[in-house]
Amino acid sequence: MIVDDEALVLLDLVHTVEDLGYNLHSESTTLKSALDALELGPPDVALLDIDVAGEPVWPLARRLKEEGAPIVFISANLTHGELREEFPACPTLGKPVSQKDVARSLEAALSLR
């Protein structure tokens, strides 16, 4: 699962994940569409921007955590208290990200399962 409100960033992440050999659960530019995508079941891992079209991603992240899905947060702002308080074990990446960083973070997140 990839959630980012910036279409070009989302497209780049989709290509990166696919180039690394992973299958894509879903891609979303809004929290609503991401929450709707959970009807397919939880993803193996979620790459989440923190600010999605002006909405904080925390409701989705909490639901993913409840369902046991590992999360990688990708954001230009990684100073949110929620990262330290609720999601300290989740890998974080500052934007912009490289394919190498995404690969390492996916491996780290999947090892938490």
Domain ranges of the chain: 2-111
Q: Which pTM was predicted?
A: 0.95
Q: Cα separation of 107 and 109, whole Å?
A: 6
| CATH superfamily to which 2-111 belongs | Response regulator (3.40.50.2300)
Q: Cα separation of 15 and 39, whole Å?
A: 23
pLDDT of residue 65: 96
Query: H/E element holding 28?
Result: strand 27-28
pLDDT of residue 112: 72
Digit-coded pLDDT (tens) for 50-74: 999 999 999 999 999 999 999 999 9
Q: Tell me the mean pLDDT in the region 81-94.
A: 95
